[in-house]
Amino acid sequence: MKRDAIKKRPLSDTTLANLEPEGKDYRERDTGALYFLVQKTGKKSWQLRYKNEKGTWSWKGLGAYPSVSGATARLKANELSVKIANGEPIETRKEIKNKQQEVIQRKFNIIMNEWLDTKKSSWGEKTFDKAKKSIDRHITPKFGERDFSEITPEEWFDFFQSLQRSLKIHTQVEKLTSYCRNAYDWAKFKGKINSNPLEGMTKYLDKNKGGNMKFVEIDEFPELIKKIRKHHQRKLAIGLELMVLLFPRPVELRFATWNQFDFDKAIWIKPAEIMKKGITHAVPLPRQAITLLKELEQYRTESDLLFAGRNSLSQPISDNTFNMALNRMGYKGRQNPHGFRHIASTALNNKFSDKEQVVEACLAHMKKGVKGAYDKGTHVGERIGMMQWWADYIDNLVQTE
């Protein structure tokens, strides 16, 4: 239908649907200041002609046809005309776009990622990735798309307290609250907010009483050792028994590689990059540990890792693998891999109460006090005997049970 065939206005539905494009864009008045735009490409839409704040004529888009029907366009035009008559400003497309961009910039995800970017150069890659995964898992689904300035302190408190009580991840919650508080500090520094809704919150959250060390009492220990030795996955059983004998932090065994072990010298050199304090640490290997490691060699793959993951020879097993094995043996909430450190520490301190610094060295702890600051020795000689005593003590516990 040619536009010179239009007989009446407002434009009928038939006219709107059948108006043909021409060599250039054109507008046909519908009613009042409402116009129907037909582009040479065939696209059709609605526009309102009005005078802007500067007193010049402008066009305000009201939507594409047929998504916006004639009736809907007339209703929109009428509402806008009332606003204009009352002196209310009409937002331009650019203003709307800027406002939408501003809304995006106020999402919590944005300030969190901006703050994380400031930590890339100071955090190690593993630390950064671990923090990012924790944030993406717990914070992003709940608050990622929210305007950070509208999230109340009460919402944050209820959220973190719920995580503590439902998931029992007190240590992780401490880190998450720290990440979020720092993100808000960053927003404050950038002039986006005046106050931090997480300021002072941690003192009101539940305190972590159990830490991440779940451990059985010594009278239950022999039965646990027996169950570990009978575990149907021998490789996993060896890993757990090495946890018992050498009591490393779980991450240290997960990232252990074969080139760190010297069987002739009976020593495991743990490199600084996998150590909590970033200091290389030597662990004397008792005879029982060497026997287990040589057995573990039978399962060795192309990977240099003692415990490579299923999907990648360059990545270790999940940090939850050993814990799940203990859970399935009936020790959920009673014993986890980190808890073997507590059991060993208690036994060694009881036996060698006069050699606190040597026990601390076995645990790869920083030495305390003036003596710790000036004692540069690592007590390797004494630790050899101490580690062998611990391995023999375990064997004796199982045999006499």
CATH of the domain at 305: 1.10.443.10
User: Residue holding tokens 């270790």?
Assistant: 316
Question: Does residue 21 sit in the same domain as residue 67?
Answer: yes
Residues 331 and 231 in one domain: yes
The verdict on residue 236 lying in a domain is yes
Could you tell me if 267 and 363 lie in one domain? yes
Enumerate residue ranges in the chain where pLDDT < 70.
91-104, 207-212, 353-354, 366-378, 401
Is 98 among the domain residues?
Answer: no
Shared domain for 177 and 229, answered yes or no, is no
Residues 306 and 181 in one domain: no
Q: Other CB atoms closer than 10 Å to residue 385's CB: what's the count? A: 13
Residue 370 has what pLDDT? 32
Instruction: Report residue 318: phi and psi, to 5°.
Output: -60, 150
The residue from 90, 113, 141 where one domain ends is 90
Q: Are residues 71 and 109 in the same domain?
A: no
Count Cβ atoms below 10 Å from residue 300 Cβ, excluding itself: 12
Does one domain contain both 155 and 38?
A: no
Q: How far apart are CA 329 and CA 343, in angstroms?
A: 18
Note the pLDDT of residue 220.
92
In the structure encoding, which two tokens stand for residue 211, read together? 């830490």
Tell me, yes or no, whether 210 lies in a domain: no
Handedness of CA 342, 347, 350, 353 (dihedral sign): negative
Q: Is residue 97 part of a domain?
A: no
Whether 75 is in a domain gets the answer: yes
Angle between helices 287-296 and 234-246 (to 10 degrees): 150
- In Å, how far from its chain's centre is CA 276? 20
Q: Residue 71 sits in a domain of what CATH number?
A: 3.30.160.390
Q: Does residue 213 lie in a domain region?
A: no
Give pLDDT, residue 368.
39
Question: Does one domain contain both 233 and 370?
Answer: yes
Which of these three, 155, 175, 204, is where a domain ends?
204
Strand-pair category, 44-51 with 261-262: unpaired
Q: Is 39 left (phi over 0), alpha (psi -120 to 50) or beta?
A: beta
pLDDT of residue 376: 40
141 and 274, same domain (yes or no): no
The answer to whether position 211 is within a domain reads no
What pLDDT does 209 receive? 53
Provide the CB-side half-sphere exposure for 394 (13 A, CA): 27
Residue 229 and residue 370 in one domain: yes
Q: What is the per-residue pLDDT for 372?
A: 33
- How many structural domains are present in the chain? 3
Place of tokens 């910039």: 105
Query: What is the CA angle 271-274-278, rounded to 5?
Result: 75
Structural domain span for residue 45: 3-90
231/370 same-domain check: yes
Same-domain check for residues 125 and 248: no
Q: With beta carbons less than 8 A apart as the criterion, state whether 254 and 319 touch.
A: yes
Q: pLDDT value at position 214?
A: 84
Domain boundary among 36, 57, 90: 90
**What local confidence, expressed as pLDDT, does residue 387 receive?**
96
The CATH number covering residue 144 comes to 1.10.150.130
> Does any domain span residue 181?
yes
